[in-house]
Amino acid sequence: MPSTFTPLRHRIFRCFWIVNLTSNIGTWMHIVAAAWLMTSMTSSPTLIALLQTALTLPVFFFSIPGGMLADIFSLKKFLCFTQTWMAVGALTLTLMTLFHLVTPWSLLCITFLLGSGAALNIPAMQTAITTMVPAEDLREASTLNSIGFNTARVVGPALGGCLVALRGPALVFMIDTISFLGVIFFFLWFYQHPQQPCSFGGNIKKSFSGFSNIMVHAPFQNILKRTAAFFFCASIIWALSPIIAKNRLGEGIAAYTHFVTCLGLGAVLGGLSLATLRDRISDEKLTSTVLILLSFLLGLLPFFKNHFMIYGILIVIGFTWITSASTFVSAVLKAFPDSLKSRAFALYWVCFNGSVALGSATWGKLASIFHCRPTLLACSALALVGALFSFRWKVEEVKKGYRL
């Protein structure tokens, strides 16, 4: 932790980091348990892939309204509301699972509600982080928060898989519920943020004006094109993960847990090495290169049955995922002045999750018609085409004079 933190803010952010890490671990445990529960109820690739769509599609609808509402209402109260929303959803799923009332469609509906709460929550949570630390320590705080998220991607699936194998998915859903309560407790008792009085109508008008200015910015449009090209194709690895794990690694929750953990491990390694890569290669070449690499790996995956080779492929795919995501976010934040950063990020977040949601539904439907191997090969070919086109989508930093 940076030494320049004031003692009070140091303690507050440290407490937040712990409860947020716990919540992220609970979320990843929940994702594994929900995927395994869906797989145990149906063998339909479409329904299994729609679980990923139900989780990410709400961002497409609620991310921008969430950012606007967080600016208008009390940040503390709004975050408590969104966390309560998700806690109620997780508790409902816990009780339905205990009493054997869950069906594939009810699981999809509850997952959509949880995703909606998360979509409303994310912009406000990002804003809250900026209020917990001095401005000069914001970069270090953001880095620490990112490390915590990627740590949860490794720990959560492994722990969730073990608990599902030992006690079933209901216990995992209950732990996720408790993790939301921990975040609510933090914001109620520790977080203080003076809310500035604001005009509802004035904020709405200003927000829409900012969005229109951002969308006509050509380099930002190219960032969105690159985002859509990569994550539409990369979504297949999450959408079909239960099926691919079963076909390539064998039956049982352990195989799926190993699959997801390898993806998370690759993301952590990518996060640790990204600074070095950026010193040696431009963002444009880096994102195009990892899309070509993704195409190659998706083409190889259907032909390997050796577990260690598959683990290696999954680690590298996780590496490509986090490399692209981090590079695109960095490009968005560099491309706009402070007055436009939040709205630019909200638009990027919509594009990112919309691409994942649409890709998950598409690949799930194709897998139900043509089976998994042809679908992976088709996705590999599309990723290569996207990589070739991406060289034409130039990304350059906007001039400092670009303002509202």
What would the pLDDT profile of 179-195 be if each residue is shown by its tens digit? 999 999 999 988 876 55
Is the fold of 1-198 the same as that of 217-404? yes
Distance of CA 166 to the CA centre of its chain: 27
- 63 residue type, one letter: S
Q: How far apart are CA 323 and CA 319, in angstroms?
A: 6
Sign of CA dihedral 302, 227, 352, 173: positive
Q: How far apart are CA 94 and CA 201, in angstroms?
A: 40
The architecture (CATH level 2) of 217-404 comes to: Up-down Bundle (1.20)
Helix (H) / strand (E) element for 137: namely: none
Comparing C-alpha atoms, which of 396, 397, 398, 389 is closest to residue 288?
Answer: 389
Q: What is the pLDDT of residue 330?
A: 74
Residue 356, CA atoms < 13 Å, CB-side half-sphere: 20
The pTM is what?
A: 0.71
Q: How far apart are CA 342 and CA 68, in angstroms?
A: 10
Comparing C-alpha atoms, which of 120, 118, 139, 117 is closest to residue 130?
Answer: 139
Q: What string of pLDDT tens digits covers the 404 residues of the chain? A: 444 444 445 678 888 889 999 999 999 899 989 999 998 999 888 888 888 888 878 887 888 887 777 767 778 888 999 999 999 999 999 999 999 999 999 999 999 999 999 988 887 787 777 678 776 666 566 656 766 777 787 788 888 888 998 889 999 999 999 999 999 999 998 887 655 545 545 555 555 656 666 777 778 888 899 999 999 999 999 888 888 888 878 777 778 888 888 888 888 787 777 767 777 888 788 888 999 999 999 999 988 888 899 999 999 998 998 888 878 877 776 777 656 666 777 788 888 888 988 898 899 999 999 889 999 999 999 999 999 988 888 765 444 434 44
Q: Which one of 3.40.50.10490, 1.20.1250.20, 3.20.20.10, 1.10.3330.10 gives the CATH number of domain 1-198?
A: 1.20.1250.20
Q: What is the pLDDT of residue 89?
A: 95
Q: What is the pLDDT of residue 53?
A: 83
Q: In the chain, what are the domain boundaries?
A: 1-198, 217-404
Helix (H) / strand (E) element for 392: namely: none
> ∠ CA 148-150-29 to the nearest 5 degrees?
95
SS3 sequence of 166-208: HHCHHHHHHHHHHHHHHHHHHHHHCCCCCCCCCCHHHHHHHHH
Cβ–Cβ under 8 Å, residues 345 and 335: no
Cβ-proximal residues to 66 (8 Å cutoff; 6+ apart), any chain? 82, 119, 120, 121, 122, 123, 124
